[in-house]
Structure 1
Amino acid sequence: MEIRHLKLIKAIVEEGSITKAIDKLHLTQSALSHQLKEAEYQLGTKLFLRTNKKLIPTKAGEKVYGIANEILDKLSETELQIKEMVFGEFGEIRISTECFSSYHWLPSVIKQFHDLYPNIELKIVTEATHYPLQKLLDNVIDIGIVSDQIKDGRIKYIELFQDEVMMAVSENHPWANKKYVTPEDFANEHLIIHSLPLETVTVHQMFLAPAKITPKKITPLPLTEASIEMVKADMGVMSMAKWALQPYLKNGAVKAIKIGKNGLKRKHFIAIRAEKEYPEYFSHFIGFLQNEINLQ
């Protein structure tokens, strides 16, 4: 018998129904039936009695289920021990990012990493969001995800990805049919931002400040959904990363407008302390983060 057969038998017994076992194992009903027939053929006996949609274990099935638990538990324990040998000891990584939109994808990436490395605790330090580089130097965080670099020999930057920032406006807004907006277009607008200080807002820092343009009104609103609703009601405009804005464009009530003729592009970097000796699991996390972001 193979490991997949043991996992199959364990799932059927514990879930109590074919449907639940299918969902747990991510198999089709035909694949489940085929694998079960394989196991019964190899053992030369029935492992389950079929009654309606339920599979009741026979004495042989109960025996195999007991063995399956022992083997799969031992295998899981061995895998964990090997991961500890290869990828390092128990530990933690404290992370923050200067851009609140990054928190849309960061938790899911962290969860995937934790599934692979359950001994490494990953902490998002939201209070360091506005000043991640300073908090990095102060040893409040271990990794900062930033788009703004400062020249400091104590910090090492590793490129992560590039994205584009766009303006979200209502379908009835005067900008809705524009190919792109200029700094001057903002002079009489109500700009909704996620939070202060204004210097941390990309559209201000990279687009409006160099042109010495300040919107007529600026409102910090940390809730993205609330900000989108204000945009839909034509009560203001807001900037968002293109990838973060996509889900809100489906019904046409919100439009995405390019910022500047060439678009407003920004690069994101992983920032770490240059002279610090990080445990091996840090390099595995950084590599994992780069790979997952590229896939997204």
Structure 2
Amino acid sequence: MEIRHLRLIKAIVEEGSITRAMGVLHLSQSALSYQLKEAELQVGTPLFYRRNKKLILTPVGRKLYATADSVLRELDIANAEVKKMVNGEVGAIRISTECYTSYHWLPAVLKKFKGEFPNVEIEIVFEATHKPIEKLIDGTLDIAITSNPEQIETIEFISLFTDEMLAVVSNKHPWCDRTFVTAEDFQDISLIIHSLPLDTVSIFRTQLNPKGISPKKLIVLPLTEASIELVKADMGVIVLANWALQPYINDDIKAIRISAEGFFRQQYIARIRAREYPVYFDYFIKFLREEIKLENLK
């Protein structure tokens, strides 16, 4: 017996008449009668008693109606779930960045994203923070945020946004009255960074290491709030993105450009080139760009 026959039995019983069943199934009376006869021939026995123009289920009909009710309910649920999966409405995004400060924007992005895709889970893989590309390749991550696009054939790097990196000092620091500093200035200061190794730290990778410059002292402190407190106490300098700095700006600290032109860092979304990503990944990237744009306008 085919699914259409089960739907036919269910419609006749629940609608109470062939006329109303015709409307639900979008069949003519002749087509409906033909399908009913076809179903009864396949089963080998009548499914309904015909009494006073009414159709009453036979014992076999009752059994098939119970089966139809169960099977069709499960089938409809499965079809709905498959449709959502195909349309990118159900799933998960496993994400990490290369810097802890980059998680600052997550709450606002997640709130907006969950409003559009409530059935998509966002999993932040913190342990992949310092090696997002490696974890993307081994399947731990779905996408990664990085400012270091490596030449890897299997990885696609999508431009996300550009942020300016600023040197943050106390209002007592010798740099306080300067409009900008140079890479060479960093060799005379105590520099606060969030993590090691140094080749994952933007200021080292792009500004200091190429010139062979090392700060007088290096302080590794993962927490931005604690780092800002050290800066306020004039115990060191930290380099932060302009948007990451916004929550901490006050009269006790000052942000200074790095070089006369500024030190700008391009951020990318990295993902597997050959993989087919559901549409909700594109929306996540869109919302992320919008949030960072709003942060930069504050």
Is residue 111 of structure 2 the alignment partner of residue 115 of structure 1? no
Tell me the residue number matched to 1:260.
Answer: 259
Tell me the residue number matched to 2:189.
Answer: 189
Tell me the residue number matched to 2:151.
Answer: 151
* Structure 1 residue identity aligned to 2:282: S
* Structure 2 residue identity aligned to 1:288: F
Pairs within 5 Å for 1:225-244: 225-244=225-244
- TM-score, with length taken from structure 2: 0.68
Q: Give, in whole Å, the separation in 1 of the partners of 2:230 and 2:286.
A: 39
Q: Give, in whole Å, the separation in 2 of the partners of 1:165 and 1:133.
A: 22
Secondary structure of the corresponding residue to residue 258 of structure 1 = strand
Tell me the residue number matched to 1:287.
Answer: 286
Q: Give, in whole Å, the separation in 2 of the partners of 1:193 and 1:285.
A: 29
Residues 115-140 of structure 1, C-alpha deviations (whole Å, 9 max, x = no match): 22111011011111111111111111
**Structure 2: gaps of 5 or more residues:** 1-79
Show structure 1 runs of 4+ deviating over 6 A. none
Is residue 78 of structure 2 the alignment partner of residue 96 of structure 1? no
Secondary structure of the corresponding residue to residue 105 of structure 1 = helix
Q: Give, in whole Å, the separation in 2 of the partners of 1:291 and 1:242.
A: 16
1:266 CA displacement = 0.7
**Structure 1: gaps of 5 or more residues:** 1-79
Secondary structure of the corresponding residue to residue 227 of structure 1 = helix
Tell me the residue number matched to 2:271.
Answer: 272
Q: Give, in whole Å, the separation in 2 of the partners of 1:85 and 1:132.
A: 26
Tell me the residue number matched to 2:218.
Answer: 218
Secondary structure of the corresponding residue to residue 244 of structure 2 = helix
Residues 58-106 of structure 1, C-alpha deviations (whole Å, 9 max, x = no match): xxxxxxxxxxxxxxxxxxxxxx99x938843521110011122210002
- After superposition, the Cα gap between the structure-2 partners of 1:278 and 1:108, relative to the gap in structure 1 and judged at 3 Å, is same
Tell me the residue number matched to 2:168.
Answer: 168
Q: Give, in whole Å, the separation in 1 of the partners of 2:88 and 2:206.
A: 41
The answer to whether the Cα contact below 8 Å between 2:135 and 2:141 also exists between their aligned partners in 1 is yes
Q: Give, in whole Å, the separation in 2 of the partners of 1:187 and 1:281.
A: 45
Residues 219-265 of structure 1, C-alpha deviations (whole Å, 9 max, x = no match): 11011111111111111111001122133223x11010111121110
* Structure 1 residue identity aligned to 2:213: I
1:143 CA displacement = 0.5
- After superposition, the Cα gap between the structure-2 partners of 1:249 and 1:283, relative to the gap in structure 1 and judged at 3 Å, is closer
Q: Give, in whole Å, the separation in 2 of the partners of 1:220 and 1:256.
A: 20
1:293 CA displacement = 3.2
Pairs within 5 Å for 1:20-31: none
Secondary structure of the corresponding residue to residue 195 of structure 2 = coil
Q: Give, in whole Å, the separation in 2 of the partners of 1:88 and 1:233.
A: 49
The answer to whether the Cα contact below 8 Å between 2:194 and 2:221 also exists between their aligned partners in 1 is yes
Q: Give, in whole Å, the separation in 2 of the partners of 1:182 and 1:113.
A: 40
Q: Give, in whole Å, the separation in 1 of the partners of 2:96 and 2:207.
A: 24
The answer to whether the Cα contact below 8 Å between 2:89 and 2:117 also exists between their aligned partners in 1 is no
Provide the identity percentage.
53
Secondary structure of the corresponding residue to residue 178 of structure 1 = coil
Between Structure 1 and Structure 2, whose CA radius of gyration is higher? Answer: 2
- TM-score, with length taken from structure 1: 0.68
Q: Give, in whole Å, the separation in 1 of the partners of 2:174 and 2:111.
A: 41
- After superposition, the Cα gap between the structure-2 partners of 1:183 and 1:291, relative to the gap in structure 1 and judged at 3 Å, is closer
1:165 CA displacement = 0.3
The answer to whether the Cα contact below 8 Å between 2:243 and 2:292 also exists between their aligned partners in 1 is no
